Amino acid sequence: MAGLSGLRSIMEDVAASTADTSAEEWLNLSIGNPAAIPAAGAMWREALTRALEEDFDAVCGRYGPSRGSAGLIEAVSAYFHHAYGWDLGPENVVVGPGSQMVCFAAAALFCGPEPDGAHRRLVLPMVPDYTGYQGLCMHEDGIVGVAPQIVEDGEHGFRYALDLDALARLDGIGMLLISTPGNPTGRAMDRAELDGLITFAEARDIPLVIDHAYGAPFPRIGEVPVEPVRHPHVVNCFSASKAGMPGERVGFAIGDPRYVGAIAAFLSNSVLHAAQLPQAALATTLREGTLDEVTRDAITPYYRGKRELMDALLMEQLPPDIAWRSHSGAGGMFAWVWIDHAWFDDVELYRRLKEKRVFVVPGRHFFVDATTTALPRGHATRCFRMSLSAPEKTLIDGVSRVAETLEEMRAEA
Ligand code: PLP
């Protein structure tokens, strides 16, 4: 926990670029912040203000239930009943201070050493996946990532595919965790992949935690071919962060009481409960349908436009004779670029760009070490991530400096 993980390195870059007041601006393409979309900002501001003005004593002046405030749990149950026909009771829902903490609690509960000395590991069924998962385990070698199959697509595209056979060869699993659409690639699971993971989780009697931070029903950043499903072995995690309220820390999970009840108990012991002001605001936006409207009219179209811009910039600016590919066909909040040359190294690119006041994220942080070797052609150190949530000008200038830096690296090879 005290080591420098990929996530901590990104958070340090955020701190460095915001604390530096010198004249030349940083071009921060590493950030996981959602974009400042006016309609989303206005919705959260209004909902938070109403909670402060109308319910201050109940919301801020008292402790609340560890499972989450009654108002939010009711709003979540009604919302998912309306959206998907799910019948949820309070025993199926738990609210936490962000989905990161909910996932941390799940990993602490369902993974780790067993009384008989066996180790139950946290398994990421397909890497690359969210770098923040790698800090979820407090045991050495407690996390395993399954390498994907790589499918090349045209001259500059590629995509990953889940390798269910490789997953089936693993044992000692405590929990499966996957983001969909994923960070960093924006790739979403299809029905067959989801069914495959559920069948596997059921056969092993382990929870499959599905992180919908970018997915359906909100904020729907990217294409989502499969809506969330309910199953006794699935814990679905949702967050208000990428819909525009990351600073207020609220997320929730829906699942079977045996998993969700344990997470509520963990939160009780660790943080008591999530802050109640954002819980009240989230309840309002779910109840009144504003989150659905803003998702449909503002958030999804915004990122679709930024994706199109990024695709155009890559085609225009990256040197045509460099073998580059970007993960295609999925949308999402990031561009994930693969430079398939032996002279390329993701950390070296990061270091050189930092000298030019640009931040990107080296790709290796999204793989788990042990899987690095399972991938062909040094793949895990030949990718990097750029955020689409940065302003247009930052993307335009940032990609141009990336292109320039690639030219330099190639010339010096
Ligand atoms: N899950 C994924 C896939 C993410 O990319 C992030 C943040 O970048 C989180 C979870 C963290 O979400 P929260 O702010 O709800 O803790």
Counting from 1 in the atom list of ligand 1, the atom nearest the Cα of 241 is 14
pLDDT digits (tens, 9 = 90+) for 284-311: 999 999 999 999 999 999 999 999 999 9
**Cα dihedral 21, 26, 32, 38 sign:** positive
DSSP symbol at 148: P
Phi/psi of residue 393, each to 5°?
-65, -35
Given a cut of 70, the residues of the chain with pLDDT beneath it are: 1, 3-7, 10, 14, 17-18, 20-24, 329, 370-373
Counting from 1 in the atom list of ligand 1, the atom nearest the Cα of 246 is 14
Predicted pLDDT at 371 = 61
For a mutational test of ligand 1's pocket, the pick from 10, 99, 136, 389, i.e. the residue with the most ligand atoms closer than 8 A to its C-beta, is: 99
pLDDT digits (tens, 9 = 90+) for 105-158: 999 999 998 888 889 999 999 999 999 998 898 887 899 999 999 999 999 999
pLDDT digits (tens, 9 = 90+) for 218-232: 999 988 889 999 999
Helix (H, G, I), strand (E, B) or coil at 23: coil
CA–CA dist 101, 334 (Å, integer): 22
Can you spell out the DSSP letters for 43-60?
HHHHHHHHHHHHHHHHHH
For a mutational test of ligand 1's pocket, the pick from 183, 224, 361, i.e. the residue with the most ligand atoms closer than 8 A to its C-beta, is: 183
Counting from 1 in the atom list of ligand 1, the atom nearest the Cα of 250 is 15
Q: Is the entire prediction scored with pTM above 0.90?
A: yes
CB under 8 Å, gap of 24 or more: what pairs does 376-381 form? 376/150, 377/340, 378/342, 379/150, 379/338, 380/128, 381/345, 381/346, 381/347
For a mutational test of ligand 1's pocket, the pick from 179, 212, 235, 241, i.e. the residue with the most ligand atoms closer than 8 A to its C-beta, is: 241
Predicted pLDDT at 3 = 67
CA of 214 to the centre of ligand 1 (A): 8
Predicted pLDDT at 21 = 62
For a mutational test of ligand 1's pocket, the pick from 7, 13, 94, 100, i.e. the residue with the most ligand atoms closer than 8 A to its C-beta, is: 100
Predicted pLDDT at 181 = 94
CA–CA dist 192, 313 (Å, integer): 33
Place of tokens 């225009």: 316
Q: What is the ipTM of this complex?
A: 0.99
Q: Which residues contact 312 (CB under 8 A, 6 or more apart)?
A: none
CA of 99 to the centre of ligand 1 (A): 6
Place of tokens 């561009």: 335
Cis link prior to 97 (omega < 30° from 0)?
no
Determine which residue's CA is closest to atom 11 belonging to ligand 1. Answer: 100
Phi/psi of residue 88, each to 5°?
-115, 140
- Chain center to CA of 64: 27
Counting from 1 in the atom list of ligand 1, the atom nearest the Cα of 101 is 16
Can you spell out the DSSP letters for 353-396?
HHHTTEE-EEGGGGS-GGGGGGSGGGGGGSEEEEETTS-HHHHH
Which residues form the pocket of ligand 1, taking CB atoms under 6 Å from any ligand atom?
32, 98-100, 130, 132, 179, 183, 211, 213, 239, 241, 246, 251
Determine which residue's CA is closest to atom 7 belonging to ligand 1. Answer: 32
Domains and CATH numbers, the chain: 6-40+293-412 (3.90.1150.10), 63-288 (3.40.640.10)
